[in-house]
């Protein structure tokens, strides 16, 4: 399920988790299995357990906000060491794994996946190459 075993610092793991949660909630429904997968991914990415309940109470994060927060954390002396494209791949692949917990990726979720990836600098072709699960949605999205 996890795209790679790269650990994120706690601040970036928080941003990542909010993005995956925003995608999973794009269809206004978050099932138990989706929630469990998000919690497991948050722990895998941060190396420590994070409370999903805390994230559920926060305002949804916007793709532009994720990009701005990543830029702000990548100054010359405080960089997270994660390239925006690498974070985009984590978000794309992990959020698809979360959405597939219910058996499919909805139109709304697919649109959000694309919005987050593009905000982090990926082209549609790069996103298309990341996951075959999104291919059926691209004719409507681009």
d(CA 3, CA 18): 17
> What confidence tier does 137 reach under pLDDT thresholds 50, 70, 90?
low
Q: Which residue has the higher pLDDT, 2 or 106?
A: 106
What is the reported pTM? Answer: 0.85
Which domains are delineated in the chain?
10-141 (1.10.3680)
Q: What is the pLDDT of residues 52-83, one digit of tens each?
A: 888 888 888 999 999 998 888 655 445 557 88
Question: What is residue 80's predicted lDDT score, i.e. its pLDDT?
Answer: 55
Q: With the C-alpha atoms ordered 124, 125, 131, 136, is the resulting torsion angle positive or negative?
A: positive
Distance (Å, rounded) from C-alpha 91 to C-alpha 117? 8
Q: Return the SS3 of 123.
A: coil
Sequence-separated (6 or more) residues with CB below 8 Å from residue 75: none
Confidence of residue 138 (pLDDT cuts 50, 70, 90): low
Burial bucket for residue 3 (CB in 10 Å: 0-12, 13-18, 19+): middle
Give the whole-angstrom CA distance, residue 64 versus residue 68.
6
The CA-atom distances, in angstroms, between 40 and each of 75, 100, 113, 119, 130 are 30, 15, 19, 25, 21
């Amino acid at each position: 399920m996890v795209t790679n075993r790269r650990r994120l610092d706690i601040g970036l793991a928080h941003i990542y988790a909010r993005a995956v949660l925003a995608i999973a909630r794009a269809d206004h429904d978050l099932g138990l299995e989706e929630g469990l997968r998000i919690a497991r991914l948050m722990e895998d990415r941060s190396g420590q357990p994070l409370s999903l309940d805390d994230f559920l109470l926060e305002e949804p994060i916007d793709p532009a906000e994720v990009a701005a927060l990543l830029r702000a954390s990548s100054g010359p002396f405080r960089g997270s060491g994660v390239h925006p494209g690498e974070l985009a791949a984590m978000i794309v692949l992990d959020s698809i794994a979360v959405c597939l917990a219910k058996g499919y990726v909805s139109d709304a979720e697919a649109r959000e996946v694309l919005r987050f990836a593009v905000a982090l600098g990926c082209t549609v072709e790069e996103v298309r190459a990341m996951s075959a699960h999104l291919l059926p949605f691209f004719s409507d999205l681009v």
